[in-house]
Amino acid sequence: MRSRCLCQICTCGRHHCPHGTTRIYENTGVCCPTTEYLEKYPTYGSVLPAQSLKPKQEFQAYRGKMEGITTFKSDYRPYEIIQQPRHAPEEYKPNQGEIDLGTTYKRDFNSYKIQPVAIVRPLERQQVKKGKLDTVPTYKDDYRAWDIQKSELYKPEQSYYPPTVKFGNSTTFQDNYVPWETQPRQSFKPSSVVQWPTVPFNGDTSHRLDYVPYQLEPKLAQPKEVYRPTNQPFEDLTTHRCDFQGLLGATAKICRPAHTRVTQNAQFEGSTEFRDSFQPWEIPPPKVKKVQAYIPPTGSMQLHSTSHLDYIPYEAERVIPIRPISHRRNHHFPFQGKSTTKEDFPAWESCCQGLIKKQQQIPNPSGKFDGLSTFRSHYVPHELIPTESCKPVNVPLQSSCPFDDVTMYSTEYAPKKQEICPASYPSPPGYIFENTNSQGHKFFRKITPAVKAF
């Protein structure tokens, strides 16, 4: 009969065999030196490996004397430096004419006054009713406290009590430990005494030895040019000014019907559950905690610190600065603050000019403008009819018949007996253990019942 694994015997899907490590061959104990690589690629005879042509990394030092000539020194050729000619800027010639500072927005925009918006929100009415609230809330009426007895503790009583007498025997550390006298170590820290040098300070630097002062040439002072405004008018004509032709007309009137808001000025006289049940009561003022008066301590305070008591002042001389004296030159001629931007972009004297209006070429209409539009001619006002609500009334349905609580589940449900998985036992009933393979699967053989002979 075919044997079955523990994974196949399980009926609940929770039991599996303890899988071991994966192996290519079975655990027979016999060593097999043959591999797939040795079978496909057999070894050849005495064939030496190919020799490497890579040069050996051996440094051969040069035994001769090194010359101080480099590639840059041997190939470098000095050239004569010629100063490039300086570009002379062209003389600035300002444009003739005047700037027109008028814009289309300033000419066509007409400001109008804005009135404040009236407040539509009704006035707040505060109605305070004095009295004490005497009602029972839903929580107290529906949820009442039960009389529950306190359960007894099942914790065992403590039988161990620590001894009160002191332990008299000595420990291993106390018997073997011998105290030694500690000796302070010798300090190798250098002393804080200032050692003054005996050799005088040499203040010569490479900058002081190699610096050669040169005399600068005085700069040429150029006279300031006088600004000359232009006499020609500025051409400010645009495509909008040339092609736009404004027509005068009356503003259109609003055809929307007036919004009539229904408001009731009469005061609401009905009573609600909140007004009948709620009765405000007086709240006592909060208690103010009294602060105890501050009592200063008696006696004087010692202001001595560890730093004041242990500090030893040393007398030290002030260090003389080694920085050389700066030889600053004082120039008496004025500063030349002229730049390329100031020469090429002088400030223009701008002034506010009036609006330049173009002469009207098309004459104004002589007749009266008819303000009737397509919407006004075809619009027919209708009265607003409120829509009736089709929502059913929120009233609980009451019936005299008893409630039928029979369901399909209660009539057709058949309880079944819960079966126990055979793999949950150490040895499944009806099976005999056979062997375990290399992957860790346990195989069992089913017991066949013996047939009695007639």
**CA–CA separation, 108 vs 231, rounded Å?**
28
Mean local confidence (pLDDT), 13-25: 65
Predicted local distance difference test score (pLDDT) of residue 31? 47
Mean local confidence (pLDDT), 46-68: 73
Q: Can you say how many angstroms the Cα of residue 396 is from the centroid of all Cα atoms in its chain? A: 55
Predicted local distance difference test score (pLDDT) of residue 35? 62
**CA–CA separation, 300 vs 275, rounded Å?**
69
Does the structure show a pLDDT above 70 at 408?
Answer: yes
Mean local confidence (pLDDT), 397-425: 80
Q: How do residues 344-357 score in pLDDT, each as one tens digit? A: 787 777 777 778 77
Predicted local distance difference test score (pLDDT) of residue 441? 81
Predicted local distance difference test score (pLDDT) of residue 25? 46
Predicted TM-score (pTM) above 0.75? no
**CA–CA separation, 155 vs 241, rounded Å?**
103
Lowest mean pLDDT among 32-41, 76-85, 226-235, 442-451: 32-41
Coil/strand/helix, residue 432: strand
Q: Residue-wise over 197-212: b if at least 16 C-beta within 10 A, else e?
A: eeeeeeeeeeeeeeee
Predicted local distance difference test score (pLDDT) of residue 36? 66
Write 115-119 long-range contacts (CB < 8 A, 24+): none
Q: Are 1 and 448 in contact (CB under 8 A)?
A: yes
Higher-confidence residue: 428 or 316?
428
Query: How confident is residue 102, by pLDDT bands cut at 50, 70 and 90?
Result: confident
Q: What is the dihedral of CA 292, 297, 298, 299, to 10 degrees?
A: -170
Q: How do residues 206-218 score in pLDDT, each as one tens digit? A: 888 888 888 888 8
**CA–CA separation, 20 vs 440, rounded Å?**
5
Q: How do residues 374-394 score in pLDDT, each as one tens digit? A: 788 888 888 888 888 888 777
**CA–CA separation, 175 vs 173, rounded Å?**
5
Q: Residue-wise over 161-185: b if at least 16 C-beta within 10 A, else e?
A: eeeeeeeeeeeeeeeeeeeeeeeee
Q: How do residues 123-161 score in pLDDT, each as one tens digit? A: 766 666 666 767 777 777 777 777 777 877 777 787 778
Q: Are 107 and 357 in contact (CB under 8 A)?
A: yes
Predicted local distance difference test score (pLDDT) of residue 367? 75
H helix and E strand count, the chain? 13, 3
Closest CA to 18 of 444, 443, 440: 440
Q: How do residues 360-376 score in pLDDT, each as one tens digit? A: 777 777 777 777 777 88
Q: How do residues 165-184 score in pLDDT, each as one tens digit? A: 877 778 888 888 877 777 88
Query: How confident is residue 269, by pLDDT bands cut at 50, 70 and 90?
Result: low
Does the structure show a pLDDT above 70 at 429?
Answer: yes
Q: What is the dihedral of CA 375, 376, 380, 382, to 10 degrees?
A: 90
Does the structure show a pLDDT above 50 at 117?
Answer: yes
Lowest mean pLDDT among 108-112, 270-274, 418-422: 270-274
DSSP letters of 139-198?
Answer: HHHH------PPPPP-PPPP------SPP-SPPHHHHH-------PPPP-PPP-PPPPPS
Predicted local distance difference test score (pLDDT) of residue 285? 86
**CA–CA separation, 351 vs 8, rounded Å?**
104
Does the structure show a pLDDT above 50 at 265?
Answer: yes
- Rounded to a whole number of angstroms, the distance between the first and last alpha carbons of the chain is 25
CA angle 440/441/447 to nearest 5° reads: 145
**CA–CA separation, 3 vs 446, rounded Å?**
7
